Amino acid sequence: MSKKIFIYIFLILYLLWVLVPYYFLIIISLMTHSDLISMPPKLFITNIYLNRYIKLFTGQGEVHSLVPGIENVLPGFWNALGNSLIFSFSSVIINILFGSTISYSIARLHFMEKRLLSLVLLGQIVISIGLMIPLYIMLSNLKLINTWIGIILTNSSHLLPFTIWVLTNFFKEIPVEIEEAAIIDGCDKIRMLYTIILPLSGPGLIAVGISVFIYSWGNLMIPLILTSKKELTTLPLFIANLTGHYAKDFGLMATVGSLTALPPILLAFFLQKYMVKGLTAGAIKG
Amino acid sequence: MKLSPFSFFLNKKTEILFSFPALILIFFFIFIPISWGLYISFTDYSLLNPSFHFIGLKNYMEVLTSYNFLKSILTTFEFMVISMLIEFPIGLGIALLLNEEFKGKKITVALSLIPWSIPMVVNSLLWLWIYDPQYGLLNGILYWLGIKEYNKLWLGNPQIAMFALIIADSWQVIPFHVLFFLAGLQSIPKTYYEASAIDGANSLKRFFYITLPLLKRVFLILLLIRTVHCIKVFDMIYLMTNGGPGDRTTTMAFLAYLETFDHLKMSIGNTEAIIMSFILIILGTIYIMTLY
């Protein structure tokens, strides 16, 4: 009995550790300005202050802020949100489309399979700022800085090794006999991939899709280094700009932050079965 | 049946065609930048002066003898070692607890994914608030504890800044360790423990002679993932300390960024980037060789 109590006490501590910071993120975004700058900080909100959200979404109303000039930055929110969606979804589509075809080939060709997969893993390990600096020099020579093509293709290619790694392992588990039967029935290979193999590897595709989405959604480095135009700002960059150029306005940062964190949290929470599979199979987060 | 190379390509032409789009992307955005960066590191190229004069190993000599770069390597390793010393015991401990049967286990595991899925940028600004000297939570706690000088600097204090970063990073990473260790623990057959209990082994002995040896592979995977992650860490330093105070939290990755985009020393930044990629390739090769 005492052992049970001991376990529960530790688990509660663990859950507090996991959840408390996110709890504060949300309540800071809902605090009035005077509550926000009180010391010690308020642990609960007595009156909910929605003005920051209203201001971000509609541009209406007043937001009390110590930071001058914040009015000019905030209208960029919808643009940043749209850009983040374009950036993340196109990366997911490219990864699923091109990643599934190459993974299928690696799984079925049996051509230096182990070595190819090792190379894929190595590719995943190398991806970092160390790769971004030569890439920046290369793309600026090709006049691809500040273009959608530049950031989307860079991001998609940098996630491809992860995609290939997870999907190849999934495809290998689908029995070849199903494909042989399809070929006898006169099915060509492209149709076979899209009508038989892909539906059968649903969980793998979902795991890859969500992971690619979450990685792209939170990626700061690629837009930071490869863009400088306001029109291409994504949400992480939008938040980074709130911290960089102005004195810190934690209320606004937390508002944008909670909104940015929401889609990945919902995806991870509701589709966690697939996530854990994808994570432990891929075993890598960029 | 062994196929000749020619008929192999003829037979498998769909598969080979299938691979092309992804191969082109990987070639263009991973392979070429590395090779090109390697080439540029032997020249005096800069964006302002876009000509390529071969200058041999001069860049490497400069980087490898510069105080800043050597110090950044030490800083990176400091970050790595302390992080691991914190994350591994805590992660394993919590996984051991979660491995017991109790009510609410599923929801605890599900909630563990939250910190991991939060974008690094959001995590960083959250901890920026926690450490804020004026309005932050940490100083608030000091205030509640009745400490008079509660207006402490955390990220601005050279003695604490690194540790503060590590704690913020651990918040995101520990649940990830928990999930991995839990997956490892669940793969150990229960019969091992039953047999050893009959032989009279106590729970401490069981832990050291059964659990730990059988978790070796998980340990290895996590060790290598974390090594690579700590060398790459960038977003957090960019947002929280900007490498400071002074150069206290300037890791290898951040120094390469500063040299390139702040000091505009393209060739130096690029050379540092290449050395960093080289270190990652060596570690990655060790990683893959030990696993397969």
What is the pLDDT of chain A when averaged over all its residues? 82
Position B132, amino acid: D
Cβ-defined contact of A130 to B23 (cutoff 8 Å): no
Q: Which two tokens stand for residue A23?
A: 């709890």
Q: What percent of chain A has pLDDT over 90?
A: 18
Whole-number percent of chain B with pLDDT over 70: 95
Query: What per-residue confidence (pLDDT) applies to A1?
Result: 64
pLDDT digits (tens, 9 = 90+) for B44-69: 877 677 677 788 788 888 888 889 89
What number is the average pLDDT over the span B32-39?
Answer: 89
Whether cis (ω within 30° of 0) applies to the bond prior to B245 is yes
Query: How do residues B156-204 score in pLDDT, each as one tens digit?
Result: 888 889 999 999 999 888 888 888 888 888 878 888 888 888 887 787 8
Rg of chain B taking only CA atoms, in angstroms: 25
What's the confidence (pLDDT) of residue A69? 66
φ and ψ at residue B45, rounded to 5 degrees: -60, 140
Burial class (CB in 10 A: 0-12, 13-18, 19+), A116: middle
Contact B95, B177 (CB under 8 A): yes
Q: Which one, of A81, A89, A111, lies nearest residue A234 by Cα?
A: A81
Sole residue written with tokens 């940098």:
A158
Instruction: Report the pLDDT averaged over residues B20-40.
Output: 88
Q: Which residues contact B18 (CB under 8 A, 6 or more apart)?
A: A101, A102, A104, A105, A189, A193
- pLDDT above 90 covers a percentage of chain B that reads 13
**CA distances (Å), origin A40, targets A36, B137, B151:** 10, 8, 11
Is B173:B83 a contact under the CB 8 Å cutoff? yes
Task: Quote the tokens at residue A118.
Answer: 């090792």
CATH code linked to domain B59-291: 1.10.3720.10
User: Chain B partners of A93 at a C-beta cutoff of 8 Å?
Assistant: none
DSSP reduced 3-state for A174: coil
Q: Which residues of A touch B236 (CB under 8 A)?
A: none
pLDDT tens by residue, A56-110: 888 777 777 666 667 777 788 899 999 999 999 999 999 998 998 888 888 877 7
The first and second tokens of residue B225, run together, are 């993932």
List residues bridging with B43 in a β-sheet: B54
Q: What is the pLDDT of residue A283?
A: 43
Chain B residue with Cα closest to A33? B135
Q: Which residues pair with B54 in a beta bridge?
A: B43
Extract long-range pairs of B41-46: CB within 8 Å, 24+ residues apart: B41/B267, B41/B270, B41/B271, B41/B274, B43/B267, B44/B267, B45/A137, B45/B266, B45/B267, B45/B270, B46/B264, B46/B265, B46/B266, B46/B267
The better pLDDT of the pair B80, B143 is held by: B80
Select the more confidently predicted residue: A242 or A160: A160
Q: What is the model's pLDDT at position A239?
A: 87
What pLDDT does residue B106 have? 80
Distance CA A184, CA A161 (A): 33
Between these two residues, B72 and B266, which has the higher pLDDT value? B72
A8–B253 C-beta distance less than 8 A: no
- Tell whether B135 lies on the interface with A, counting CB pairs under 8 A: yes
With H, G, I as helix, E, B as strand and everything else as coil, classify residue B81: helix
Domain A76-282 in CATH 3.40.50.300? The answer is no
State the count of interchain CB pairs (< 8 A) between A and B: 292
| pLDDT tens by residue, A181-238 | 888 887 777 787 778 877 888 888 888 898 899 999 999 999 999 998 888 899 999 8
Instruction: Output the CA–CA distances (angstroms, integers) from residue B187 to A60, B214, B215, in the order listed.
Output: 56, 9, 9
Q: First-to-last CA distance in chain A? A: 43
Band (A40; pLDDT cuts 50, 70, 90): confident
A16 or B52: which leads in pLDDT: A16
Q: Do B110 and A108 touch (CB under 8 A)?
A: no
Show residues of chain A in contact with B175, CB under 8 Å. 18
Rounded CA separation B173/B229 (Å): 10
CA distance B158 to chain A (A): 21
Q: What is the pLDDT of residues A240-265, one digit of tens each?
A: 888 755 567 788 888 899 999 999 98
- Tokens (6 digits) for B194: 């039953």
**Count of CA atoms in the C-beta half-sphere (13 A) of B32:** 15
Partners of residue B179 in chain A, C-beta under 8 Å? 276, 279-280
Of the candidates A129, A140, A220, which has its C-beta nearest B256's C-beta?
A: A129
Task: Give contacts of B 172-211 with A, CB under 8 A.
Answer: 174-176, 179-180, 183
Selected for mutation to probe chain A from B1, B30, B90 (highest A CB count within 10 Å) is B30
Sign of CA pseudo-dihedral B262, B263, B267, B271: negative
Q: How far is A31 from chain B (nearest CA, A)?
A: 13
Q: Are B228 and A285 in contact (CB under 8 A)?
A: no
User: Is residue B131 within 8 Å of A24, Cβ to Cβ?
Assistant: no
Beta bridge mates, A126: none
Handedness of CA B27, B30, B31, B32 (dihedral sign): positive
Task: State whether B284 and A122 contact (CB < 8 Å).
Answer: yes
Q: Are B30 and B250 in contact (CB under 8 A)?
A: no
The answer to whether B52 contacts chain A (CB < 8 Å) is: no
Question: Could you say which of A7, A138, A257 has the minimum Cβ distance to residue B126?
Answer: A257
Q: Cβ contact (<8 Å) for B256 and A125?
A: no
Q: What is the pLDDT of residues B65-108, one digit of tens each?
A: 889 899 999 999 999 999 999 999 999 988 888 888 777 788 88
Burial class (CB in 10 A: 0-12, 13-18, 19+), B269: buried
- CA separation for the pair B96, B181 (Å, rounded): 8
DSSP 8-state symbol, A41: P
Q: Is the Cβ–Cβ distance between B129 and B216 less than 8 Å?
A: no
Please give the distance of CA A139 from its chain centroid, rounded to a whole number: 23
Contacts of B139 (CB under 8 A, 6+ apart): A39, A40, B132, B133, B150, B151, B152
The complex scores an ipTM of 0.85
Cβ of B91 under 8 Å from any chain A Cβ? no
pLDDT at A181: 83
Mean pLDDT of A147-162: 92
Q: Write phi, then psi, for B54 (nearest 5 degrees).
A: -70, 120
**Domain positions in chain A:** 2-49, 76-282
* Contact indicator for B181, B91 with CB cutoff of 8 Å: yes
B225 vs A264: CB contact, 8 Å cut-off? no
Domain residue spans of chain B = 59-291
> If you average pLDDT over every residue of chain B, what do you get?
84
Q: Give the CA diameter of chain B.
A: 82
Q: What is the CA radius of gyration of chain A?
A: 23
B164 or A286, greater pLDDT: B164
Residue in B with minimal Cα distance to A226? B261
Cβ-defined contact of B97 to A97 (cutoff 8 Å): no
> How far is it, in rounded angstroms, from Cα B35 to Cα B30?
9
pLDDT at B5: 57
